[in-house]
Amino acid sequence: MKNSIFYSWVAAFWESEGSLCRRRHIGYCLAICQSIDSKRTIKPIMERIQKTFGGHLSTRKIKDYKPRFEWILTRRDDVIRFIKTIYPYCHIRKGDLKDCLDFFRTHPRLDKRDVKINIKEIKKMLNNGKTYVQVAEVIGVLTPSSIWKRLHKEGCLNP
């Protein structure tokens, strides 16, 4: 199967059976869940999706439901690559994918060298009673723990 045909198929499969979830202060994750009615058919498809895009594939059984395959993609770079790959083939949920890409564009990683952090301003906010979560929202980074790690690395926190 040619890649463009496969990507088109994955886009349609994700639009019908997939989900895009925003996780507070972390970003987004993508998932596709499918009941295991015909293990011969769905297993190779889900394995190919995982092999192509990364992520985690597992079998899950929930009480009173059929067992299902779950493919979950959580790593930022993998999510962005998946979205950029299927975006041209999507029709129904393009807005959701665009929102996700916009979020990643406006919330840079804190560990990147081009992200400047005003340590004094962060310490001031913390001293004024703001939580790490609130500080993360103000400075536009993804995780509050990354602020703590940066402050610790800079020697601004007592051990």
- Regions in the chain scoring below 50 on pLDDT: 111-115, 158-159
Half-sphere exposure for 135 (CA within 13 Å, toward CB): 25
User: Residue 1's pLDDT is what?
Assistant: 55
**DSSP at 73:** E
pTM of this structure: 0.66
Q: Which residues of 114-148 are buried (b: 16+ CB within 10 A; e: fewer)?
A: eeeeeeeebeebbeeeeebeebbeebebbbbebbb
DSSP-assigned letter for residue 89: G
Q: What is the pLDDT of residue 83?
A: 93
Could you give the CA distance from residue 86 to residue 42 in angstroms, rounded to a whole number?
Answer: 20
Residue 24 has a pLDDT of 63
pLDDT of residue 127: 87
d(CA 95, CA 109): 23
CB 125, CB 138: distance < 8 Å: yes
Confidence at residue 29, expressed as pLDDT on a 0 to 100 scale: 84
pLDDT recorded at residue 66:
77
